[in-house]
Structure formats: structure tokens, C-alpha cells
Structure 1
């Protein structure tokens, strides 16, 4: 999405608008049926079903039918079962990218659950912002997130300074990994990412405190870093961050050509407690996305349990 097809020396390259230049030969057309050379085809994987270990893509329904979309009234048990199967397959045969909002850091159990998912090898890259890393490290450093105890959710005295104290201490050491090493941090999401050498991209925003060292302040640099991982992704799971989810959805292709030459879909999940966020992703053009409307702390707990990582 948000790219154009550029022809160079008889080959076609897909490029972002910011990377095209005067004189490029760009395929253009206003119709989608192929009569002008542009064909939009979104049903290539609709009837997928084989012995590859990848769950089939649901498809085929009446033009008019009730409950076609996903909402808070939908039972997602089947979606969870398919997701467990997909994660087990892609841990060995693909690349799994997780896109996370800071809501995970507000609860000690969800931090622990995702850390176990990282330790078990189900995470190949993480996209987030300054807040996810800041409040996760605050949870490890002060046992609070935005000043609230991560287990009891009780406000701690002067707790509203904790995230700033954490940022300043990380900046003192110069990097997140050095902070973890020097301050004896031994739990949480960032600790698990560093311990397992899992790459992460922290894309900053104009309202960030600090930010932490390693956060991209340049949006284009952050986008390039994210695309480096998305090019290899076979499953993308976005949770509780509408901004990062839509950004990732816009740069995620609908399929991946695997090293053995086979073509498979890229599975894209959007998990949010707000139907608006789930539906807006589809409205923005990410046609292959799947939505799960639920609290993300509960979602990650279910995933960790479904994968046999927690009781």
C-alpha cells in the first residue's frame, strides 16, 4: 500500500512515493479490472487449505448475511485456535512481528505473559513507541506503570515521577541494554527482548517524554526500520495501538514468496478493545486483516496459555 510500480531495465520495483524521482517510468491507471494495465485481485488465498500447517483463509459467504464483520458480540474461540496453530507453524517456518501499545505495561501478568512468548521463540521483531518501552522499564525499576503498582493498580506516592526518573536513568547509561545490565533489571518485555536478542523498532512521536535512547525521532527512519522487518514477516499481530497498527498495515504486503518459491498469505491481526480501531484498519485499505475485539491484557494471557507457556 501507499507505493507505486516503477519500471527499470525491464523489471518492476515497488517504491514508496518519497523514493520516486523525476523521470521514473510509473505504471498508472484509474480502473482495477486490468483494462488499463492495473489489476486489483484480493481473493488469491480465499480457498487456501493444504497440509502446510497454515490455517485456511476463511472466505465465501452470501452477498447479504448477518454477522459477517467482527464485533464485541463475536465469539473468537475459533480465531484463537487458528492463531495458536499459525504461531506454532511460523515459529519454525516464518517470521512473526508484534506491534504493541503501552497498555501491556499496566499489568504485571501481561508483561510476564508476553515475556514468556518472547522466550519461547514466537517473536521475531517488535514495533512500539517510546511509551511501551518506558513504562515496561518503569515496571521493572519501580514496580509501577505511570505511577500505579503493576499488580494492585494502586497509586504510589510521587509515582507520577517514576517514568521520568526511569527515562533519565536510561539516558544516563546511554542505552536500554546498558540500563538493564547496570541496574539489575530482570523482568519485563524489554528485558526479554534484549536477553533473546530480538530486534525492536521504537517509533517516536511529537508528544514523547525523553525520549529513551534508541527511539527514532525521524518518522522516515522509523518507517525504513519497520519495513526491513515487514519484508520478512509472515504473521503480524497488532495490539492496542491504532496509530502503529495502521502504519504497519499500510506497509504490509498481502503475500510472501518463501525461500522455496511457494507463495503464502501474510496473516495480519488487529486486537483492540475498541471496534472502531479494528474497523478503521479495514477502512484504511488493509483488506486482509483479521480483527479480534478484546482487552489486550486478556488476549496475551490467552495466547500464552494456549501455547502452553502458562497455567
Structure 2
């Protein structure tokens, strides 16, 4: 039995959709500017009636973009990418009344509780049992390794523990990672561990604070910048393990997006936010499974770029599995409150999570 749920498209021959109008467009008045009353996209399957009776699904959607129409093909485009004169969908209806229909229940199954109207434990929390979530994730990853595209979004906590760092590197070597998204900190502290055996100056196994250890990540940054690149620094410094080394040795692409607080940063860190978003969006368009670990801002950023569905090469529509792993309920709730309501939360220590995951998938 497949773990990918079947998608049920809307029935455009029935009800109000049958008499819905063709979508209306207006020209972008200037580069990077949308017309007034533009339609803003969701992360759900979104259909545009480009001619009467022809409803076209946006193939690569994401929330908070506009819809540009080119040769009757709708595409979700960040407003900053618009060129003057582009045809942009206008009208803020979502039920077809403006020629746009947002389909929210294409993957919905009957989730009734046999008529039960009152129940406990209906909202995820740190008390929630996650055994089924883990088992499902194991199934998903085994499937996606061969048939999908797995993107990981990592915070530095994954590299602060010896076993967790090894587990993530092992997942990459085993083929369970097709792209890695992170910031300067993850790569810096991962390489710090490779050179000094520390994370922010603390031994990643014994937790011993090393004398002047708070210099370690700064020294590492300086050495990498002097070498000119991460691959060159790994050769010069003899770094032969860890997460970034695993990416380099297996050819798994990674995007390091910069932030205001970055030290250094590493040469590969993309400090222009628009450029960083463009690089991240490349993999958001491909992802069929996303796992985010202990990084609230990068999680929300990638979540906002990733639709809830993927249109495959054969035209079939499938969901994108999105997991947020964190000790904090707040982080998971904030992601959902920013529009990624389809995400599944596993509330636990991410280092324990990584070790658990690797031990179950490494066989």
C-alpha cells in the first residue's frame, strides 16, 4: 500500500464552479510592482480558469506570491520578479468567483471519531505520543529516498552533539538527503567540530568547556575565509567528517543563507537575502519531503516557500510532507500560524531525534 495519499481534484462541472468567470488580469505598472487588487497565492493547490472551462493548476505554487499569466499558463511569481507589462491575475476571491479556486481538501480523508464530540489530547504538545509519527516518517523517508526529493533545514544544535552530528552525516551518506538548507552557524559549528572537536568551545561529546574555546568558531571562520572556500579549507585543515563534509563528498547541494547576526561569515554564505531566497526556492520547488530541525526562522522561511503539494512529471498531484522538529511547542505553532498548517510537529530534542532516525534507517 502506498504511503502517498490519492489526490481528488475539484469537480469543475458542478455548482458555482461550472458558471465561474474566466480570470481577470492587469498589467504590472512597473518592474517589481503588482497592480492594485492583485491575487495573493496560498500554499494549497490553486486553479486558474484561463479560458472558459479550462482550469489550470499552478505547478510550482507558494504562499504570498502573485499569479503571472503567460500564454495562458499561470505561474506563482514573487512580486519583486515582475516586469512592467506582465499580465497579473487580479481579484481576491478564492471560491472561483474571480476565476481562481483554492482547493484545500484534495488529500483529506474522513477523520471522524465515530461520532465522538468530546475528546482529550486533540492538540499536539510535548505530551503527545509520537510513536506513530516516527513510524510514518521512517516509511516516508524510505519511499522518498528513491522516488522523491528530501530537503533538510538544519539549525546548529544538530552539530553540537557528537552522535547527532554523525547521524546527520550518515543520513546524507545513506542517500536520505537531496538538499540541505541552513545558515552560517550550522556550517561553522559543524566544521569547528571537525577541526577542534567543539561546538562554541564545548567538547561535543564530554561537554567540557575548553580554555579559550570561545575563539574556536572565530578561528575556524578566519581559516576558511583565508582558504577561500569550504572545500579548500577542508583539504588544508584536514576536516574529514561531519555534515558539510558529507555534502561535499556526496555532491549533495547546500544553501547557506546569511543573517544580520552572522560572524564571518563563511565564503559560501549568501548574504543578499533576495539571492538567498532564490537559491532556497530552487529546492522548495523540488521538495517532496521537508524536515526542519531546531531553527525557527529558517523553518518559517522555507515553509513559506514550499507548497503543500507537488505536481509530478506525469501530471499526478501528491502532498509535500513537512516535519518540524523542535523542543518548543511555540516554534511548531508559529510555523502553522505563518500558513504552513499542513506541517507535522515532533516535539523532542533534535539530537535525540537524529540518533533515533539514523538507528532505524541505517540498516
Match of 2:82? 20
TM-score by length of 1: 0.92
Larger-Rg structure: 2
Q: Does 1:141 find its partner at 2:195?
A: yes
Moved more, 255-264 or 293-302: 255-264
Residues 203 and 38 (structure 1 numbering): CA distance in 2 closer, same or farther, change over 3 Å?
A: same
Q: Does 1:46 find its partner at 2:108?
A: yes
- Kindly state the Cα deviation for residue 14 of structure 1 after the two structures are TM-superposed: 1.1
Match of 1:78? 132
Q: Distance in 2 between matches of 1:10 and 1:194?
A: 41
Match of 1:305? 359
Match of 2:331? 277
Aligned residue runs from structure 1 range 135-284, under 5 A = 135-284=189-338
Note the residue ranges of structure 1 that are not aligned, 5 or more in a row.
Answer: 48-57
Q: Does 1:2 find its partner at 2:64?
A: yes
Are the aligned partners of 1:98 and 1:238 in contact in 2 as well (CA < 8 Å)?
Answer: yes
TM-score by length of 2: 0.79
Tell me the secondary structure at the aligned position of residue 192 of structure 1. helix
Q: Distance in 2 between matches of 1:137 and 1:110?
A: 14
Deviations 1:73-103 (A, max 9, x none): 1010101000001100011001100000011
Are the aligned partners of 2:151 and 2:291 in contact in 1 as well (CA < 8 Å)?
Answer: yes
Deviations 1:190-237 (A, max 9, x none): 111111111000000011000001000001111110111111111011
Select 2:186's aligned residue among 117, 127, 132: 132
What's the RMSD between the two structures over aligned residues?
1.6
- Kindly state the Cα deviation for residue 29 of structure 1 after the two structures are TM-superposed: 3.0
Q: Distance in 2 between matches of 1:291 and 1:138?
A: 30
Are the aligned partners of 1:125 and 1:199 in contact in 2 as well (CA < 8 Å)?
Answer: yes
- Kindly state the Cα deviation for residue 15 of structure 1 after the two structures are TM-superposed: 0.5
Note the residue ranges of structure 2 that are not aligned, 5 or more in a row.
Answer: 1-62
Are the aligned partners of 1:95 and 1:232 in contact in 2 as well (CA < 8 Å)?
Answer: yes
Select 1:117's aligned residue among 162, 167, 171: 171
Tell me the secondary structure at the aligned position of residue 269 of structure 1. strand
Select 2:345's aligned residue among 281, 291, 305: 291
- Kindly state the Cα deviation for residue 294 of structure 1 after the two structures are TM-superposed: 0.7
Q: Distance in 2 between matches of 1:204 and 1:179?
A: 19
Counting matched residue pairs gives 299
